[in-house]
Structure 1
Amino acid sequence: MAGEEPQPDHWRASAMTVEADLAPFAPADLDEARGRLTRLARIWANRLDSLRVDQLDHSPGEGRRFRELALHLKGSTYSAYSVGGPS
């Protein structure tokens, strides 16, 4: 890239909205999303409930330990409520 002339940037970022930016999201889509997230939460709760206390500080692989995952997910509810969680 050294010595190349910069190319003009025609990207408008968020200065304008085009039709492709508007993803339709109907009430049925919201119901489906809520159902899926509720089922996922139940799966996680069942999985964590099945672990002994000593298993919480182990990882099934190279990633985070179960306790770290649980605490991370617990802290992630802030994002949901900041954009309009359930009342």
Structure 2
Amino acid sequence: MTRYLTDDVPDDEVPETDDRDVTTLIPTAVDEVLATAETWLAWDGRPRYCDGNAWTPHKALRRVTDHLVDHLAEIECRLAGVATLPDRWHGRKLTLDSDAARFTEADLDEATSRLRRLALCYRARLATLPADVLDAPSDAWTLRQVVHHVANVTYYARMLGPLTP
């Protein structure tokens, strides 16, 4: 059986979909994340504890990036008809030493470039897929469900939230 990143998600967590244009979902989510991240230049170096985890600007942006990359790889593998590699990461439960680093304008600039490029990749790829491919039944979520799930990547930015000086 082919394994996908979404295989280990409980059935009650299957994302709801709607009629929004899938090509805009990820760019819109990235815009929201980056708008929040702009406030993180005021971060005082102390993690925020929310939803059972410690959150810092670097961790939130690392999780956003990882989530976008992981599911873009899943989409590409599924379209190519090959199995994805099982993930071995610890997700939001893991806080790295590097997550505690000072958050600077250069960090924000790098994250902005990286996330906007990933959003463009999603937009370009999804624009090539007709509705019947997006909604094709599979042994995992439909591709439309995957995209709606990924659009919730704003969760990671909300865990730290906007910061004020």
Q: How high is the TM-score relative to the length of structure 1?
A: 0.57
Tell me which of 71, 76, 81 is aligned to 2:153. Answer: 76
Aligned length: 66
Deviations 1:25-63 (A, max 9, x none): 32111100111001101111111111011000237x864
Letter in 2 for 1:66: L
Task: Find the partner of 1:46 among 124, 127, 132.
Answer: 124
* Mapped partners of 2:111, 2:151: distance in 1: 19
TM-score w.r.t. structure 2 length?
0.33
Which structure is higher in helix share? 2
Q: Could you tell me how far apart the structure 2 residues matched to 1:70 and 1:30 are?
A: 25
Aligned to 1:35: 113
> Which structure would you say has the larger RCO, counting Cα contacts within 8 Å and 6 or more residues apart?
2
Give runs of ≥4 in structure 1 deviating > 4 Å.
none
Provide the alpha-carbon RMSD of the alignment.
3.0
Partners of 2:155 and 2:136 lie apart in 1 by 26
**Structure 2, gaps ≥5 residues long:** 1-53, 55-96
Gaps of 5+ in 1: 1-13, 15-19
Letter in 2 for 1:37: L
Q: Which of the pair has more CA radius of gyration?
A: 1
